[in-house]
């Protein structure tokens, strides 16, 4: 892994609350003497003008907004190209990327694609799995519509219908368990890792679950970080509590961790743990080869479920869950636990190298 664990970039995150990822890139660029400003821009005429970060590096201009990067080579050229080019045809759909990686020999959960009207066929496939299932919209963002660890038909039908209310196509997958680790690659090099722990609270022997959540949310809000999210107590949280034999009024024992989400997305209150200790290096090697199997993919984050992060990687103990071609970087810089990693700096350095090639 290249060294991205340099001195963290320090600036007022609230000033960039509308697009924190651009804030980190802006300050990384300025620290390297690179011209950076914000301008109104649209990559194509079919979308409205919005405020984007502009980077001028050599004869190339890069535009960034909310983790999406476009490039234009030469000041006279008008065509803008996504930095990941043709890779978007694969990574833009979770079913397509899963099948691409499966055919290339990489481990992904068993799954099938259904339209939202195919509830009958989806039921049959759920039963054929012989275990827990995961509902996943093919083009959802930030965990929207994703429901893992579905064990009964009623819950499956509810989750499928709920996803179908917002999405046309739904992936039904084998639900896999372990630790969710995100690997960040820039130009084929691993620059950062982060373990994402689902939203949870830790008992002290006196406070109820509801009180612990309230305290946790107060601390999150007090931190004033727009990239952290409070834990929402809803039906999914109650389901997770029931699975553990608890309610909102239960008093967890000292040091007992209580999970309130099955998914590990930061926007749902998960904890990011930077540079997770004990992670076996074999996983990074396998994920790197998977990234190389997708042509044009140069800036990406790959989410992997690992049964035991400390054990050597095998064909049956980890599963690639998602390949993101527009990954957020802020949550590598600001983590709940562990070390901050300068992903913004790694991206800027790679853009500089590319611009001089």
Q: 4-19: per-residue pLDDT in tens?
A: 433 445 577 888 989 9
Residues 214, 340: Cα–Cα separation, whole Å = 26
Q: Is residue 216 part of a domain?
A: no
**184, 304 Cβ separation under 8 angstroms:** no
pLDDT, position 77: 58
pTM for this one?
Answer: 0.91
Percent of the chain residues topping a pLDDT of 90: 81
Q: Is residue 71 one of the residues assigned to a domain?
A: no
Within-domain flag for 160: yes
User: Can you give the pLDDT at residue 74?
Assistant: 60
Residue 3 forms part of a structural domain: no
In a domain, 339, yes or no: no
Number of domains present in the structure of the chain: 1
Q: Which domain CATH number covers 169?
A: 3.30.1490.20
- The 10s digit of each residue's pLDDT in 214-228 is 999 999 999 888 889
Q: Is residue 308 part of a domain?
A: no
3-state DSSP assignment of residue 283: helix
Range of the domain at 159: 110-175
Q: Is 267 exposed, middle or buried (0-12, 13-18, 19+ CB in 10 A)?
A: middle
Cα 244 to Cα 199, 207, 247, 252, 256: the distances in Å are 14, 17, 9, 11, 11
- Write out the DSSP string of 64-82: EETTEEEEEESTT----EE
Residue 93 has pLDDT above 50, yes or no: yes
φ, ψ at 13 (rounded to 5°): -65, -35
Could you tell me if residue 136 is inside a domain?
Answer: yes
């Amino acid at each position: 892994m290249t060294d991205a664990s340099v001195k963290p970039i320090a600036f007022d995150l609230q000033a960039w609350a509308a697009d924190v990822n651009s804030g980190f890139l802006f300050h990384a660029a300025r620290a390297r003497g690179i011209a950076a400003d914000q301008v109104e821009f649209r990559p194509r005429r079919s979308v409205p003008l919005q405020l984007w970060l502009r980077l001028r590096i050599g004869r190339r201009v890069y535009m960034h907004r909310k983790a999406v990067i476009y490039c234009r080579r030469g000041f006279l050229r008008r065509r803008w190209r996504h930095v990941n080019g043709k890779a978007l045809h694969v990574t833009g759909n979770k079913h397509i990327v899963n099948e691409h990686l499966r055919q290339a020999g990489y481990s992904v959960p068993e799954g099938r694609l259904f339209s939202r009207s195919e509830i009958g066929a989806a039921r049959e496939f759920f039963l054929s799995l012989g275990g827990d299932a995961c509902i996943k919209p093919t083009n959802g963002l930030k965990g929207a519509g994703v429901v893992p660890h579905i064990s009964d038909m009623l819950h499956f039908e509810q989750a499928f219908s709920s996803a179908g209310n917002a999405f046309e196509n739904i992936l039904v997958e084998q639900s896999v368990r372990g630790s969710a680790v995100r690997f960040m690659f820039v130009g084929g090099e691993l620059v950062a890792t982060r373990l994402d722990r689902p939203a949870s609270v830790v008992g002290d022997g006196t406070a109820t679950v509801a009180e612990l959540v309230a305290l946790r949310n107060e601390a999150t809000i007090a931190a004033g970080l727009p990239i952290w999210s409070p834990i929402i107590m809803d039906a999914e949280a109650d389901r997770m509590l029931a699975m553990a034999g608890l309610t909102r009024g239960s008093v967890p024992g000292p040091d007992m961790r209580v999970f309130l989400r099955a998914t590990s997305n930061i926007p749902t209150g998960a904890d990011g743990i930077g540079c997770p200790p004990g992670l076996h290096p074999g996983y990074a090697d396998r994920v790197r080869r998977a990234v190389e199997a997708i042509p044009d993919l140069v800036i990406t984050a790959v989410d992997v479920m690992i049964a035991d992060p400390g054990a050597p990687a095998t064909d049956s103990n980890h599963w690639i869950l998602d390949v993101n071609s527009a990954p957020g970087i802020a949550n590598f810089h600001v983590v709940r636990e562990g070390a901050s990693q300068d992903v913004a700096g790694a991206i800027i350095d790679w853009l500089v190298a590319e611009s001089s090639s």
